[in-house]
Structure 1
């Protein structure tokens, strides 16, 4: 009988942790138990109804809103205090004092461990929420001049164009401005999520700037962006040095925090004939930390990739499908040809494709469970990885747009040799191809529009079965070179 009472006290105490009021009802405290259980059920029902009524669109906005995150932290603090107290209260009303001394010790120990254990989920959620809020605040520092219109967040725009840049910053290059060695612009249809990724070679020369801008005044046409030897890092007249110059010369571009990104946006807008709305720079060496935080990424390596040839820290990423750590994945994307080496790294066009593979592998292999389990390390790595002028107020809408892109049609257009000569870029031709490509991308699935240029790229087909044709123009599916071969 004593054993039965001991198990009963333990069982009802455990049940009270997930169904508050159950132990009180068992102990005859019917009014208190009914109130506790009713409040708990109402709270659960409210959460369920809120999720169903608000839907994914509004939830995404709320989750990324600082006020919501502050509420979550407050709820975690309150829950971390209230729930253990509720467990202890439930244990006490079961009158453990009527048990034998040994049974009292056992049940008290179980109740104490359970009470302390109930603090853990609230503590973890609160800590992760605060870390996420801090990381988001550190990365997305810009603010909109006016509140976001939730009914029309893009102010009537049909497409949003975002520059996606890969920087070469590293711990060994402290005090040296980065170069943008990966240069892409993604143009997204805000209604359908259909997207086109335009890739430009880092070595493109003589980039133009918007008329009347500070950079256009400093580098007027027809010569456009050009620096004499010794005035720029590496070859000063290359597209990947625009960020470097703007960052190091605030007397030309102004002292604004986004001056380097604004200069690159201006150049890309003139090259492609688009309005570039925002930029996101990803520090490629920071990506290595992100990949390590994710536990690595699985990539199909087409052939042996040599890196660090002639250096003590050099090595080889072997051909085949591997789980690469951050350093290996980074070198897979960045390795280049080295004379006399036994395996090739590839030219700039090949490197561009591999870098896209790494980013696509990260996104496709990122799961909610991975984010939850590794959130703090991801947030810490993200702070040193991203630089952007995207306002925080738009994050919720961008999250929804990214979700549309996942199920939309995605195609790429690479302005690379031999079809396009980066040393003598034909900007009018590039802009013409961009217009034709976007016109085709905006056409309903299954329809075809006449090409305004024989070099325009075909649009990929929908969803998981989408395909793209590889042509001399550099059109390719985003993950085509790093997807593992399918058996059978």
Structure 2
């Protein structure tokens, strides 16, 4: 009934719990819709429109570029990530405020005490339910941003002549760079051991159009290492790093550090010396470097949850060799033949043990390990374990890829995923480490990176004419021996 006074409004309609529950839940699913249906049309319509436009825009972006490329696009843009995190925080605060406001507009009328208490609990839980999942997501983004900033902060290292081919801008940043070559170094640096020995050396040569990649494995014990006129160490070793079995390739890094006065202004003379030496060995300009230490590799495998490999021969854990004999008591255990799920420690010894084999067998096992990791990378697992992986990367991985080159690399990574990855270790079937024929090595390299390479085991130096470096047909490896020659990395074992 009317109050009888035309200027006095009647009593407000009685509000129950149902409207609050329904409209606040709807507002959590479609931000702004709860306000819109509660009479706040301008504010609710603005929030709902902004939400719909954001979702449609993001969906269109993912549809056009694909999920992987979007992840790579965002992952390498540190400033954009920071902007997105800040925008996400603002959006979440506005969403929480809109839910509280929607609840207030539909709050149960007095004296419904129990329903009002239930409304307060429901609204609080709903707001927390919206905010809680966003917190770890934003934490992941900031962890990733910090990791990118830490790893890609060494772009001022000298690359030497013939390296760092110009990278353009726009849709195809690699249009002026048909190939890019990346040096991958595994060092045995750890507390208590002086200097750095580069016991694992690979160069990845990537076709920037197709993404096809060849991994060249270089023996640590190569002698007569050519330095080239651009290497400052040539002032000390004008005829190359040549003094017998005391001058092996894996000591070039230490030589660079020892003669750092020849590298004025260079923060990492050992890295530069090694880069230039590998460039002369392969006849390829090396554009970038990635370095990981032994502890980092072990931690990486653990962070991945381990790796599965079928072991072909018994491999010792530990082991020291003196005068051609294994030192008694130096072997701490064995990796037995057969399928194995390895943790980081076991994987490290599988990849570096050579007490009962040799460097060439070890190179083959390292190639097996690369292939196994490539096969077993699972995006869902990697996302779940990302904080651990990021910590490993920050603590143990170094690269001189400049931050401004990361968008171009994001584009290239997607091509590599769709390309073919082959591997070619320079074993004793291809090169004689005590007297290497580097011209022959250059021929083998050029064949491997050609559009139509001949797969298999390249003929040893001197067994074919210089003008015909075609590999001979691949032979089956002996029991326990990893695959030889140029093969798909997934079939390396």
Q: TM-score, normalised by structure 1?
A: 0.82
* CA distance in 2: counterparts of 1:11 and 1:313, whole angstroms: 68
1:308 matches 2:324: no
1:68 Cα deviation from its structure 2 partner: 0.9
Please give the alpha-carbon distance, in whole angstroms, between the structure 1 residues aligned to 2:62 and 2:258: 48
Look up the match of 1:433: 444
C-alpha distance 349-161 of structure 1, shift in aligned 2 (>3 A) = same
For residues 89 and 42 of structure 2, the distance between their equivalents in structure 1, rounded to whole angstroms, comes to 27
Contact 1:209–1:266 (Cα < 8 Å) also in 2: yes
Counterpart check, 1:453 vs 2:468: yes
1:15-46 CA deviation, whole Å, 9 max, x = no partner? Answer: 32121123224434444433322221122112
Distance 1:31 1:133, change over 3 A: closer
RMSD between superposed Cα atoms in Å: 3.0
- For 1:325, the equivalent position in structure 2 comes to 343
Quickly say closer, same or farther: Cα 1:453–1:29, change in 2 above 3 A: same
Distance across 1 between alignment mates of 2:167 and 2:18: 57
Q: 1:92 to 1:323 in 2, by over 3 A?
A: farther
Is structure 2 residue 490 aligned with structure 1 residue 479? yes
| Aligned ranges 1:96-245 → 2 under 5 Å | 96-98=108-110, 100-143=112-155, 148-154=168-174, 156-173=176-193, 176-221=194-239, 224-226=240-242, 236-245=246-255
Aligned counterparts of 1:96 and 1:163: Cα–Cα separation in 2: 68
Residue 290 of structure 1: aligned partner: 300
Q: Deviations over 1:294-331 (max 9, x none)?
A: 22222222233220246689222233323221111111
Hey, what's the Cα distance between the residues in 2 that align with 1:386 and 1:181? 16
Q: Secondary structure at the match of 2:95?
A: helix
Structure 1 pair 454/204, CA: closer, same or farther in 2 (3 Å)?
Answer: same
Report the secondary structure of 1:96's partner residue.
coil
Does the CA-based 8 Å contact 1:161-1:185 persist in structure 2?
Answer: yes
Residue 180 of structure 1 aligns to a residue in which SS?
Answer: coil
2:199 alignment partner, SS class: strand
Q: Kindly report which structure 2 residues correspond to 1:369-380, keeping only aligned pairs within 5 A, or say none.
A: 369-380=380-391
Larger CA Rg, structure 1 vs 2: 2
TM-score (norm 2): 0.81
Residue 460 of structure 2 corresponds to none
Q: For residues 146-182 of structure 1, give each alpha carbon's deviation from its aligned partner in whole angstroms, at most 9, with x where no partner exists.
A: 9842355336221111111111123454xx2221111
Deviates more, 1:241-250 or 1:182-191: 241-250
Specify the alignment match of 1:382 in structure 2: 393
After TM superposition, give the deviation of residue 90 of structure 1 in Å. Answer: 2.3
Q: Distance in 2 between matches of 1:66 and 1:239?
A: 37
Matched, 1:10 2:10: no
**Cα distance in 1, alignment partners of residues 400 and 173 from structure 2:** 16
In structure 1, runs of 5+ residues without a counterpart are: 229-234, 339-345, 444-449, 459-467, 483-488
Equivalences for 1:454-469 in 2 at 5 Å?
454=469, 456=471
Distance between the aligned counterparts of 1:126 and 1:248, measured in 2? 44
Q: Distance in 2 between matches of 1:177 and 1:255?
A: 20
Tell me the secondary structure at the aligned position of residue 314 of structure 1.
strand
Corresponding residue SS for 2:138: helix
Kindly indicate whether the alpha-carbon contact (under 8 Å) linking 1:455 and 1:473 is maintained by their aligned counterparts in 2. Answer: no
Count how many residue pairs are aligned between Structure 1 and Structure 2.
447
Equivalence for 2:8:
none
